Amino acid sequence: MDFSRPRPQIAGPVPQLKVTDITCRVLLAPDYDISMTSSAQDSVVVIVETDAGITGIGETDANPWTVKACIEAPGTHTMGLSLRDMVIGSNPFDIPEIWERMYLGSAMNGRRGMVIHAIGAIEMALWDICGKAVGRPVHQLLGGAKRDYIIPYASLQPNGSSFAEYRDALVQSALDAKALGFRAMKTEVTMNGPYAHCGMKEPYERHTEVVAAVRKAIGPDIELMVDVQYLWEDADTCLSVIQDWAEFNPYFVETPLWPDNIEEHAKLSEKSPIRIASGEWLSTRFEFRELMDRGHVNVAQPDVGRVGGIGEAKVVCDMAAERGLPIVPHCWKTGISISATAHLAFVVPHCAFIEYLPPAICVERLRRELATEELAFEDGLIPLPTKPGLGVELNEEAVAAYTVA
């Protein structure tokens, strides 16, 4: 299988455009709470301009000030060049070459991690430009949709600082998502561990109580996923808890172990009665190759912005297909990233679900206000989008209101 990054597929000659500028806007909700684990409280919008007057927008799920610095910092030597300078003057249709240039030119500063996340935001904006330039949605440029709809799962958000408040908030969120017509949803169950909600320290038995309560609320016919946010340090401890969750029939348990703990991942995947999902924090295909081949993860979860962009995410999806693994992309951000994820999902037949923050029940104001995506929600499904590019429009009033840098 060819794992080269995809090039925009168009009929006829390639339009001759040039990138003229890249700007970054750091946005922050005024009521952000540093004790929360939600990265949707902030965002970085990357705006790429061209000499044809066509503008593309991108986003990535990483510290927005750091992403802005990665893009705008001047270069000082050939192994640490400026991302911005490496892109300006390029034809946005040359996405594979631009990506490779940015990757090689910044390798000393970040061949993994934050620089890759910044590259992902730029690359996302380039796909948006290409689609707008030829009047076609991004999924067509990626080779064409393999389905007429995709299934979004609602990400449920907890609230409160006591066990009862936490459980009841998730149950209510699940009921709200069910009322909206969602066919699948994911509940956070993190009342302990490194990213415990509001610093909670509840025993594992109570985590099981939350899973049971959410399953009881939604009934047996809605697909349920469980996110524990790196709760356990080893496979045996994890197994001692999630073996009791099998009766609730979760589609997967997400990020039960630290992503670098490859040996324990392999042990867990071998013995778990439930699929193990991971990959939200990984960058590039190379980290996913290790997670899939050595960690034997059951479900791969690339985040489009974080992994290095739409093209790199597509490569990860192709690698998963070769290994017989389903894809369920991570996406905890605004309509920009959600739209990019959806366009990817339409061309990946083994993408089971996409993560979706329903604006109607989402507490994050940037998700509700920053961007308007074309994506419709009908009978628990997202039908094929048709607008050029990503089909996203920024709410300039929200951009102005929430920009802090």
- 163 and 98 within one domain: no
Give me the pLDDT at residue 157, please: 85
Structurally, the chain folds into a number of domains equal to 2
Give me the pLDDT at residue 275, please: 99
- 260 and 128 within one domain: no
- pLDDT band for position 31 (50/70/90)? confident
Q: Is the dihedral of CA 90, 95, 101, 103 positive or negative?
A: positive
pLDDT of residue 35 exceeding 90, the answer is: no
- 200 and 106 within one domain: no
Q: Are strands 299-300 and 223-227 parallel, antiparallel or unpaired?
A: unpaired
Compute the distance between CA of residue 397 and CA of residue 43 in angstroms, rounded to an integer: 15
What SS3 class is residue 380?
A: coil
Task: Confirm whether 383 is domain-assigned.
Answer: yes
pLDDT of residue 1 exceeding 70, the answer is: no
- For 338-363, what is the mean pLDDT? 94
Task: Confirm whether 316 is domain-assigned.
Answer: yes
- 188 and 102 within one domain: no
- Boundary residue ending a domain (136, 168, 183): 136
Query: In one letter, which amino acid is 158?
Result: P
What SS3 class is residue 17?
A: coil
Task: Confirm whether 2 is domain-assigned.
Answer: no
- 230 and 146 within one domain: yes
Instruction: Please report the beta strands in 89-174, taking only residues with DSSP state E, as ranges in sequence order.
Output: 149-150, 152-156
CATH number at residue 44: 3.30.390.10
State the pTM of this model.
0.96
Task: Confirm whether 52 is domain-assigned.
Answer: yes
pLDDT of residue 32 exceeding 80, the answer is: no
- 187 and 43 within one domain: no
Task: Confirm whether 68 is domain-assigned.
Answer: yes
Task: Confirm whether 23 is domain-assigned.
Answer: yes
Task: Confirm whether 377 is domain-assigned.
Answer: yes
| 54, HSE (Cβ side, Cα atoms, 13 Å) | 23
Mean pLDDT of the chain: 95
- 206 and 355 within one domain: yes
**97 Ramachandran zone, left/alpha/beta (phi>0; psi -120 to 50):** alpha
CATH number at residue 270: 3.20.20.120
Q: How does pLDDT run across 187-227, given as a tens digit for each residue?
A: 999 999 999 999 999 999 999 999 999 999 999 999 999 99
Crossing angle of helices 310-322 and 95-105, rounded to 10°: 100
Compute the distance between CA of residue 166 and CA of residue 37 in angstroms, rounded to an integer: 14
Helix and strand element counts for the chain (H, E): 16, 14
- Boundary residue ending a domain (136, 163, 183): 136
- Residue ranges making up the domain that contains 77: 19-136
pLDDT of residue 3 exceeding 70, the answer is: no
Of residues 144 and 3, more confidently modeled: 144
Q: Which residues pair with 123 in a beta bridge?
A: none
- Boundary residue ending a domain (116, 136, 156): 136
Q: How does pLDDT run across 225-247, given as a tens digit for each residue?
A: 999 999 999 999 999 999 999 99
- 90 and 65 within one domain: yes
Q: Are 223 and 185 in contact (CB under 8 A)?
A: yes
